[in-house]
Amino acid sequence: MRVNDLSSAQVSVVGLGLMGGSLAGALRGRCRRVVGVARRQETIEAAQEHGLIDEGTTELGEGVRQADVVVLATPVRVILRQLAEIGPLLPEGCLLMDLGSTKADIVAAMARLPDHVQPLGGHPMCGKEVSGIAAADPTLYQGRTFILCPLPRTSAAALALGCHLAEAVGAQPLVLEADRQDYLVATLSHLPYLLACALVATADATTSADPAAWQIVASGFRDTSRLAGSDVTMMTDILLTNRAEVLKALRHYAAQLTRLTRLVESGDEEEMGAALSRIRRERLRMFP
């Protein structure tokens, strides 16, 4: 490891959208220097104007050459392409992390990195339905879980530094295997996005032609459909790199929806009440 203490580290954040810009802003002042790397000079300038980075560049090699920690904060399939090229650009003992929402493919690609790089998969459980540097918020990670997926080659010191980084931005690190994380987030994170999309599409196909629909729309619809406004490029990458687990979650959901449909069809008030009460108790157990 180049450093064992985050406060003395240069952290280079590659990708200055919502997640990367927020991370950079949260880390600034908690490490020696934050360097931002983005495709467009306008993004660098916006990040500097908002006080999110100490300096920035549009050249990947320049941005990571002296880094102690590099964080890839781009869409999942972009991360996979970057992993194929970034290894030789990194200094000896550099910690390379990512913020991708799916981990199995990324961790497999990290295993092919040169031996002088310390890899650590990461997935902070936070976000917004808006994207871009203008949406960046240094408080985004506070109180959220930050999943870390070490490889067999990841040293104890590298994992400790990754945990320190998560804690420095106000998050709580949780170490999981990549396959386990993908299984869990398919149901708890990726499925809700698809359900929100289906809800919006259903409303569009049924009630949207009636001008009164948008005058009576309730907060329940607004809240439940919120995720449908998420960045499409990011979500497409997530769904395509976690297809097997997302499909399993969709099939389980379809079975539950069919069951509820049959309860409504039957008109059996007692059975319906019992089923809905069980579900309500489970929801209250999850979120007391």
Do the Cβ atoms of 69 and 168 come closer than 8 Å? no
Please count the other Cβ atoms lying within 10 Å of the Cβ belonging to residue 141: 25
Per-residue pLDDT of the chain (288 residues; tens, 9 = 90+): 888 899 999 999 999 999 999 999 999 999 999 999 999 999 999 999 999 999 999 999 999 999 999 999 999 999 999 999 999 999 999 999 999 999 999 999 999 999 999 999 999 999 888 889 999 999 999 999 999 999 999 999 999 999 999 999 999 999 999 999 999 999 999 999 999 999 999 999 999 889 898 788 878 899 999 999 998 989 999 999 999 999 999 999 999 999 999 999 999 999 999 999 999 999 999 999
- Rounded to whole angstroms, the Cα distance separating 96 from 93 reads 9
pTM of this prediction? 0.93
DSSP state letter for 28: B
* Closest to 237 measured CA to CA, from 100, 131, 83: 100
Amino acid at 222: R
Strands 145-150 and 118-124, sheet pairing: antiparallel
- Set out the domains of the chain in order of their start, with CATH numbers: 6-176 (3.40.50.720), 181-286 (1.10.3660.10)
143 CB contacts (<8 Å, ≥6 apart)? 170, 171, 172
Do the Cβ atoms of 268 and 262 come closer than 8 Å? no
| Location of structure tokens 């320190």 | 164
* Closest to 172 measured CA to CA, from 209, 124, 132: 124
